[in-house]
Amino acid sequence: MKSPQRLYKNGLVARSDSRELLSSDVLVDGDGRIAAVGPHLKADPNTEVIDCTGCVLVPGMFDLHVHAREPGGEHKETLATCAAAALHGGVTGLVLMPDTTPPIDTGHLVKSVQDLADDITGITMLPAGCLTKGRAGTELASFSGMVSRGVPLLTDADRTVPCPAVMRRCLEYARDFDVLVATHGDTPALSRGGAMNEGRTSYSLGLPGNPAISQEIAIDRDLRLAALTGARLHLQQISTAAGARAVSRAKEDGLAISAEVSAHHLVLDETDIGDYQSHAKTDPPLRLAADKKALLARLLDGTIDLIASDHSPHTEFEKSSDFASAPAGFSGLETTVLVLFDQFIKSGRFGWDLLIQKYADAPRALIGLPKVPISVGARAEFFIFDPAARTAVEKSWFRSRSPVNPFIGRDFAGAVRETVVG
Amino acid sequence: MKDLLPRKDLLDIEGLTLPEIEHVLANAVPFKQLFQRSVKKVPTLRGKTVLNLFYEPSTRTSTSFEVAANRLSADVTNFTISSSSVVKGESLLDTIETLQAMRSDYVVIRHQAAGVPGIVARHTGASVINAGDGYHAHPTQALLDAMTFREVYPDFAGRKLLIVGDVLHSRVARSTSTLFHKLGIEVAVLGPGSLIPAGRHDFMQRLHTWDEAFDWKPDAVYLLRVQLERQEGQFFPSIGEYHKMYGMNTDRLVRLRQLGAYLMHPGPVNRGVEITDEAMRYEKSLISTQVENGIAVRMAVLHWLQPDTSKD
Amino acid sequence: MSEFPQATTETILDPAAIEEAIAVLADNIAKRHPSDLVALVGIFTRGVVFAQRLGLALAARGLHFPVGTLDTSLYRDDFDQHASELPRLNSSDISFVLDDATVILCDEVIYTGRTIRAALDGLMDYGRPAKIELAVLVDRGHRELPIQPDYTGHIVPTTATQYVKVYFRETDTHDEGVFLLTPA
How confident is residue B226, by pLDDT bands cut at 50, 70 and 90? confident
Are residue B151 and residue B131 in the same domain, yes or no? no
The answer to whether A383 and A418 have CB atoms below 8 angstroms apart is yes
Rg (alpha carbons) of chain A, rounded to whole number: 21
Mean pLDDT of B191-203: 95
Are residue B133 and residue B181 in the same domain, yes or no? no
Specify the higher pLDDT residue, C85 or C116.
C116
Residue B10, in any domain of the structure: no
Closest residue of chain B to A273, computed from CA coordinates? B115
What is the number of other CB atoms lying within 10 angstroms of the CB of residue A49?
13
Q: Which of B111, B116, B199 sits opposite A203 (nearest CB)?
A: B199
**Is chain A in touch with chain C: ≥3 Cβ pairs within 8 A?**
no
- Establish, for the pair of chains A and B, how many residue pairs have beta carbons separated by less than 8 Å: 70
- pLDDT value of residue B149: 98
- Are B153 and B280 within one domain? yes
Q: CB of A73 within 8 A of CB of A100?
A: yes
Our CA-based measurement puts residue B40 at a distance from the nearest CA of chain C, in whole angstroms, of 8
Note the pLDDT tens digit of each residue in A152-174: 999 999 999 999 999 999 999 99
pLDDT higher than 80, residue C100 = yes
Q: What mean pLDDT do residues B117-139 have?
A: 95
The length of chain A in residues reads: 422
Cβ within 8 Å, pair C122-B42: yes
For residues B1, B6, B11 and B16, what is the CA-based torsion angle, rounded to 10 degrees? -30
Catalytic residue among A310, A342, A361, A386: A310
Range of the domain at B61: 18-137+292-304
Contact at CB, C75 and B44, closer than 8 angstroms: yes
Q: Is the pLDDT of residue B73 over 90?
A: yes
State the Cα–Cα distance between residues A53 and A215, nearest whole angstrom: 45
Report the candidate in A339, A331, A305 with the shortest Cα–Cα distance to residue A232: A305
This model of the complex carries an ipTM of: 0.92
Average the pLDDT over B284-311 and give the result: 94
Q: What letter would DSSP give residue A122?
A: T
Chain C residues touching chain B at CB-CB below 8 Å: 71, 74-75, 83-86, 88-92, 121-122, 125-127
Does an H or E element contain A76, and which?
A: none
Cβ-defined contact of A324 to B114 (cutoff 8 Å) = yes
- Asked whether residue B43 falls in the same domain as residue B132, the answer is yes
pLDDT digits (tens, 9 = 90+) for A355-405: 999 999 999 999 999 999 999 999 999 999 999 999 999 999 999 999 999
Q: What is the mean pLDDT of residues B53-66?
A: 88
CB A391 within 8 A of CB A68: no
What is the Cα B72 distance to its own chain's centre? 20
Q: Do B1 and C126 touch (CB under 8 A)?
A: no
- Contact of B23 with chain C, judged by CB distance below 8 Å, is answered with yes
Q: Does A322 touch chain B (CB under 8 A)?
A: yes
Q: Do B37 and C126 touch (CB under 8 A)?
A: yes
Cα A395 from Cα A283, distance rounded (Å): 22
Query: Number of CB pairs < 8 Å for B and C?
Result: 44
Question: Which residues in chain B have Cβ-Cβ distances shorter than 8 Å to C91?
Answer: 29-30, 33
CA distance A86 to A121: 12
Helices (H), A230-277: 241-252, 263-267
B144 & B279 share domain = yes
Q: Is A310 a catalytic residue?
A: yes
Flag whether pLDDT at A126 surpasses 70. Answer: yes
Alpha carbon distances (Å) from B102 to A331, B77, B106, B107, B126: 36, 11, 11, 11, 10
**What pLDDT does B1 receive?**
45
The CA-CA-CA angle for residues A89, A94, A96, to 5°, reads: 120
Query: Are residues B73 and B177 part of one domain?
Result: no
* Between residues C3 and A231, the one the model is more confident about: A231
Q: Which of B55, B92, B119 has the most A C-beta neighbours within 10 Å, making it the best mutation to test the interface with A?
A: B119
Q: Which residues of chain B have a Cβ shorter than 8 Å from any chain A Cβ? A: 14, 88-89, 92-93, 111, 113-116, 118-119, 133-137, 171, 174, 197-201, 232
Chain B's closest residue to C126, CA to CA, is B37
Q: Find the CB nearest C74 among B38, B42, B306.
A: B42
DSSP chain C: -TTSTTEEEEEEE-HHHHHHHHHHHHHHHHHH-SSS-EEEEEETTHHHHHHHHHHHHHHHTT----EEEE--GGG--GGG--TT--PPP---B--S--TT-EEEEEEEEESSSHHHHHHHHHHHTT---SEEEEEEEEE----SSS---SEEEEE----TT-EEEEE-TTT-SSPSEEEEEEE-
A320 in contact with B, Cβ within 8 Å: yes
pLDDT of residue B197: 95
Q: Which of chain B's residues have a Cβ under 8 Å away from the Cβ of C74? A: 42-44, 303
Nearest to B118 among A200, A276, A317 (CB): A276
Contact list, B89 vs chain A (CB under 8 Å): 317-318, 320-322, 325-326
Q: Average the pLDDT over C153-163 and give the result.
A: 94
Q: Lowest-confidence range among A216-230, A296-310, B90-104?
A: B90-104
Domain membership of residue B220 (yes or no) is: yes
| Cis peptide bond upstream of A71, omega within 30 | yes
| pLDDT of A13 strictly over 60 | yes
Q: Classify burial at B152, counting beta carbons within 10 Å of its beta carbon; exposed 0-12, middle 13-18, buried 19 or more.
A: middle
> Rounded to the nearest 10 degrees, what angle do helices A212-229 and A241-252 cross at?
10
DSSP states of B249-276 = -HHHHHHHHHHT-EEE--S---BTTTB-
Mean predicted confidence (pLDDT) in B6-25 = 95
Nearest to A324 by CA among B154, B308, B65, B88: B88
Q: Does B89 score more than 60 pLDDT?
A: no
Of B280, B264, B262, nearest to B272 by C-alpha is: B280
How crowded is residue B250: how many other Cβ atoms within 10 Å of its Cβ? 9
Query: Could you report the per-residue pLDDT of B154-167, keeping only the tens digit for each?
Result: 999 999 999 999 99
Q: Based on the domain organization, do B173 and B277 belong to the same domain?
A: yes
The reply to whether B37 touches chain C by the CB within 8 Å rule is yes
Residues whose CB falls within 8 Å of the CB of residue B192, separated by 6 or more in sequence, listed in order = B235, B236, B242, B245, B246
Tell whether B195 is covered by a domain.
yes
- Same domain, yes or no: B99 and B169: no
Rounded distance between C-alpha atoms, residue C124 and residue C13, angstroms: 33
Interchain proximity B29–C91, CB inside 8 Å: yes
Q: Does B47 touch chain C (CB under 8 A)?
A: no
What's the structural domain count of chain B? 2
What pLDDT shows up at residue A315?
A: 96
A chain contacts of residue B119, beta-carbon cutoff 8 Å = 276, 322
Cα–Cα dist A352/B64, whole Å: 62
Say how far residue A178 (Cα) sits from the centre of its chain. 22
Are the beta carbons of A198 and B199 separated by less than 8 Å?
yes
Residue B154 counted as domain residue: yes
Residue A198 sits at the chain B interface (C-beta within 8 Å): yes
Q: B203 lies in a domain?
A: yes
Asked if B276 and B194 sit in the same domain, the reply is: yes
Contact check, Cβ <8 Å, B88/A322:
yes
Tell me how far apart the alpha carbons of residues B162 and B189 are, in angstroms, rounded to a whole number: 6
**Predicted confidence (pLDDT) per residue in A20-71, tens digit:** 999 999 999 999 999 999 999 988 888 999 999 999 999 999 999 999 999 9
User: What 8-state DSSP symbol labels residue A47?
Assistant: S
Run of H or E residues at A61: strand A61-66
**Chain segment A75-103, per-residue pLDDT in tens:** 999 999 999 999 999 999 999 999 999 99
Q: What is the CATH number of the domain that holds B48?
A: 3.40.50.1370
Nearest to C89 by CA among B1, B171, B280, A289: B1
Residues B262 and B298 in one domain: no
A316 interfaces chain B, CB cutoff of 8 Å = no
**Domains and their CATH numbers in chain A:** 6-57+377-421 (2.30.40.10), 63-366 (3.20.20.140)
- A327 to chain B: closest CA residue: B89
Say if residue B93 is in the same domain as residue B154: no
Residue of B nearest to A275 (CA): B115
Same domain, yes or no: B201 and B122: no
Cα C87 to Cα C90: distance, rounded to the nearest angstrom: 9
SS (H, E, C) B82-141: CHHHCCCCHHHHHHHHHHHHHCCCEEEEEECCCCHHHHHHHHCCCEEEEEEECCCECHHH
Architecture of domain C15-158: 3-Layer(aba) Sandwich (3.40)
- Domain for residue B7, yes or no? no
| Distance (Å, whole) CA B52 – CA B60 | 12
Nearest CB neighbour to A206, from listed B88, B119, B134:
B134
- DSSP structure class, residue A258: E
**Residue of chain B with shortest Cα separation from A192:** B232
Are B115 and A320 an interchain contact pair (Cβ–Cβ within 8 Å)?
Answer: no
Render A98-114 in DSSP notation, one character per residue: S-SSS---SHHHHHHHH
Closest CA to C58 of C17, C24, C107: C24
Distances (CA, A) of A72 to A141, A157, C170: 19, 15, 78
Q: Which pLDDT band, with edges at 50, 70 and 90, does C84 fall under?
A: low
Q: Is B104 inside any structural domain?
A: yes
